[in-house]
A and B are shown apart, each in its own frame.
Chain A
Amino acid sequence: MTHNQQVSANITRLKEKIEAATSQHDLVATIRSLEHHPGPLDYKDKPWQVIGLLFMGLGGLALYSVFSRSLPYEFDYFLSVVLFYSQYWLPVAIVVFWQLWREEKGKAGFLSRYFKTPQQRMAVAAGIPMIVVLMPFWGLVYWEGLQILTLLVSGGGFASYELGLPLLLLVTGGIVCWRLYQRKHWRRPLSERISLLDILFNNGLKALPFNGKEKAKELGQQFKEFIRGNDLREIQHLYQGHYEGELHRFDYRLYRFHYVVRRSETYTDSKGNTRTRVVRNSYYRHGLLLHFPFSRGLSLNAGSGISFSGEKYTTASNEFNRVFSVRADEEIVAARFLSPAVIEAMLAMAAEYSRPVLEINAGGDLCFAFSNDDILEHKRTYNLESPVEFASEIAKHDELEKLNGLLFQIHNLMRLTDNNFQL
């Protein structure tokens, strides 16, 4: 096993231990195990750095040569030869490096099914593209492909194999350098994962298994809040928790919803032609789902992008009417729910949350959604790069103040809408 393969295996074991943790104590123990870890835990990436920089350097030179044409003749000739023959060496190099990278990560891909040793797999990875590049059609495919690449990058603006090649070299070199940077700093995302698990343990939250798109569809049948956008809709996070209030106790689910708005955009290309292209914008919403037995068939909407059906209702508060649009199955439902104290509570929530929507469906289930992205926010000073300090930080009890504040507000709505004599 090479050095980098050992590092990959050690990191994988560490990740498995973290994912298997069932308590804060397990997380702290895993972090502390790093203090005296026999290693190795750091990649040796010098050869990869050279490869990445070579690709980027060659791409930069090729680009310079296209635009300035002021390179010394001999050098320019040599560069032209290298670039011309790139149709042979570049595909082979990319596939070989790709396979080498996967071997290091211990993920040899489908080749491992047929070839047992890394040497065999590397030989096959080099041999297949070698055969392909020697086919008579390959030259046409390669140079046409480069033209298509520039066409895609320029949004249909122009097609040029002269620019396509430097672009391919720069992109390939850029990807290599970016991946090297990511794996050099592998401790950071893992620290964030530990922090998240810690915050879930501390606040009694449990990650629920779900299928993002199916869950969004299922919730869309219950709440209009999830019928946003006209493209992708998916639930990205789903946690379950329990709240013990002074008067009421309830189970709740905390979610993160991602939706995409697709639209056509008209633009003018470099030749002055009017063209259209499809633009997709991603949006994120967060919220709580819980059973709310004190009202049903009601929506309070201070956001945009969705409209609710039902009878329109306005309250006695001018301020509230400016912020919220109220719809209910029956007017009396809204009149009962929106007592003066509830109006004030909702105004306070509208001041705290961005584009809030409170929806209670016909089944008495409540969804309170908003656009703020900080409900699970937890600031950390340290990470796995300083395991001793990080372990002490993780060992502390950390409350999610924003989530607790929201739960308190929901409990307050329950208190104000229940019947005190039927408790």
Chain B
Amino acid sequence: MSDFYFLLLPVILLVAVVVIYNGIIGKFNAVDRAWASVLTQERQKNKIIPHVEKLVEEYKLHESSVLADVTRLRNSIDELGKQSSAAPDTVRLAEAERHTASLLQGLKVAVEAYPELKASDLYMKLMAEISEQQEQIGAALRIFNRNVEEFNNAIQMFPGSLVNSLLNHKQPVQSFTDAEAQDGFDYKPNL
């Protein structure tokens, strides 16, 4: 009987190692997928650009900064598409987010000069779409950060830390933080 347990123990250990190893791989891939989802949502902004251009054309907003903001946003979305490494490029994403905020600001300024624009159907739909896209990106980032937390826990907590150091060799992933928003706080957590 004791021989049976003696043989069973290594089998159980091997199964446990395989499960933990695969778990780490699975969680890493989930982080990768969640980041891809963030980028997909960011690229959805391409959808709004033709509508903004139509708005500029209809209401002759050529003298405003809206067109320049549109160009900058388009470029930053293109840059996101050229990302070469698999690691999340949070800097480029933050840049695209800044240009979105700038475009929104530009549209708000334009509305002040063109009151009829504010009441237009296209403007309202555009603002609803932009606001919804921002909501989607916020949600995608929260999902990404939750997956990052799960992955980091998996490789830093025992026994995952042991399996990772011996077999997986994965590095912790940084969760997404908005540097600009962080600058607004005096408090910085000592992480």
Contacts and interface: CB of A to CB of B under 8 A. Distances in A.
B125 A423 contact: yes
A318 B27 contact: yes
Interface string A380-423: 00000000000000000000000000000000000110001101
B87 to A, nearest CB: 17
Contacts of A421: 51, 125, 129
Given A317-B34, A421-B125, A416 B143 contact: no
A61 B33 CA distance: 76
Given A317-B34, A318-B30, A421-B125, A341 B139 contact: yes
B20 to A, nearest CB: 16
Nearest to A317: B143
B136 interface: yes
A248 to B, nearest CB: 12
A330 B125 CA distance: 29
Contacts of B97: none
Contacts, number: 56
Nearest to A341: B139
Nearest to B35: A316
Contacts of A341: 132, 135-136, 138-139
A87 to B, nearest CB: 67
Interface in A308-327: 316-320
B147 A317 contact: yes
Contacts of B30: 316, 318
Contacts of B140: 316, 340
B100 interface: no
A247 to B, nearest CB: 8
A344 interface: yes
A320 B144 CA distance: 12
B132 to A, nearest CB: 7
B143 to A, nearest CB: 4
Given A340-B37, A420-B129, A316 B147 contact: yes
A343 interface: yes
Contacts of B146: 317-319
Contact of B41 (A340, A415, A420): A340
A344 B142 contact: yes
Contacts of A343: 139, 143
Give the interface centre of A339, A340, A341 by most chain B CB atoms within 10 Å.
A340
A229 B48 CA distance: 49
A337 B17 CA distance: 37
Interface of B: 27, 30, 33-34, 36-37, 41, 51, 125, 128-129, 132, 135-140, 142-144, 146-147, 150
Given A320-B143, A343-B139, A416-B136, 6 more contacts: A317-B34, A318-B30, A319-B143, A344-B139, A344-B142, A344-B143
Leading 10 A-B pairs by shortest Cβ distance: A340-B139, A340-B140, A316-B37, A420-B129, A341-B139, A316-B34, A317-B143, A316-B33, A344-B139, A420-B128
12 contacts: A316-B37, A317-B34, A318-B146, A339-B41, A339-B136, A340-B37, A341-B132, A341-B139, A344-B143, A420-B128, A420-B129, A420-B132
